[in-house]
Amino acid sequence: MPLVVLCGYPCSGKTRRAHELRDYFSQNTERKVHVVGDGDQGIDKNSVYSDSQKEKNLRGVLRAEVERKVNKDDIVILDSLNYIKGYRYELFCLIKHTQTPHCLVYCLTSAEVSSECNKAREADSQYTQEILDGLILRFEAPDSRNRWDSPLFTIQIEDALPFEAISDALFKRKAPPPNQSTQTQPLSSTNFLYELDKVTQDILMALLDSQKTSVPGDLISIPGATEKIKLTRSLNMVELRKLRRQFISYTKMHPTENIGQIANMFVQYLNKSIH
């Protein structure tokens, strides 16, 4: 059923809010409530968040756990930093695919408050100051104008959770309708896999070629796509190939019935992923 995504700086009270929500829904509904988060994984936070590959793997594990638990009856609460807007967009695509509502609870604190809360923790559960500062620097704040960050509830440490409003957002609002990029089809279609590989490769080559005569801020037209890529900075082949692999992997799990939309889907993915 619904997904609640917690978001915020380290030590901003996300786990406390997750437990408050779990208790509220357990007492006021007959649904099972699952909390999925970093704490379940037995990780060394400083080791994970100092290594981009380990951090990426953790996000993948959490996303897979959310996908496994989301169903028609239960409530899932994702208790993690969720500070990357591209990752929040992936979660939005997941709930569109499962046709369930979601909301975002943003635990808003200042860097100074998060640092003080971190120092107040037991030594073995603290972030190093360097890791804490790095995560705060990389944090991409949610924006309610983005459909993947909406509905958005912004909560400060001293605030009480608006339980009824959150409940209404989850149970009285329709799920976002599935679109062509989240409709499934059997992956036995050789033509689909061929087109997926060919179209994404052609877009990469067109983008690299266009960069020779473009500057940051330009909109780049892509053959076969009605949408354009907004060039915010120079992109190299290594980075583009990585994004292409991620897109292909995700699209194989959630293929489109309309092969003609692959180009637009990939352009949308690139625009969301390029910072």
pLDDT digit string, tens, across residues 216-266: 888 888 877 888 888 888 888 888 888 888 888 888 777 666 777 888 888
Note the pLDDT of residue 186: 41
Residue type (1 letter), 46: N
The residue-averaged pLDDT of 97-120 equals 93
What percent of the chain has a predicted confidence (pLDDT) above 90?
A: 48
**Does pLDDT of 174 surpass 80?**
no
Of the candidates 89, 72, 207, 193, the residue with the CA atom closest to the CA atom of residue 140? 89
Instruction: Write down the pLDDT at residue 1.
Output: 65
**What is the model's pLDDT at position 130?**
96
Residue 114 above 90 pLDDT?
yes
Residue 235 carries which DSSP code?
-
Instruction: Decide the pairing of beta strands 219-221 and 228-230.
Output: antiparallel
- Who wins on pLDDT, 189 or 87? 87
| pLDDT 10s digits, 127-171 | 999 999 999 999 999 999 888 999 999 999 999 999 999 999 998
In 3D space, the residue among 31, 45, 97, 44 whose CA is nearest the CA of residue 66 turns out to be: 97
CATH fold of 3-182 reads Rossmann fold (3.40.50)
Predicted local confidence at residue 182, as pLDDT: 41
Looking at residue 257, what is its pLDDT? 63
- Residue 275 — pLDDT band, cuts 50, 70, 90? low
State phi, psi for 268 to the nearest 5 degrees: -60, -45
Residues of the chain with CATH 3.40.50.300: 3-182
What average pLDDT does range 37-51 have in this prediction?
90
Helix (H, G, I), strand (E, B) or coil at 200: helix
β-strand pairing of 33-37 with 102-108 = unpaired
User: Which residue would you say has higher pLDDT here, 72 or 170?
Assistant: 170
The predicted structure's pLDDT at residue 71: 78
Average pLDDT along the chain: 87
pTM above 0.75, yes or no: no
pLDDT at 224: 79
**Angle formed at CA 253 by CA 173 and CA 181, multiple of 5 degrees:** 55
Least confident piece of the model among 106-115, 199-208, 266-275: 266-275
Task: Kindly state the average pLDDT of the residues 101-125.
Answer: 94
Weakest-pLDDT range from 29-38, 47-56, 210-219: 210-219
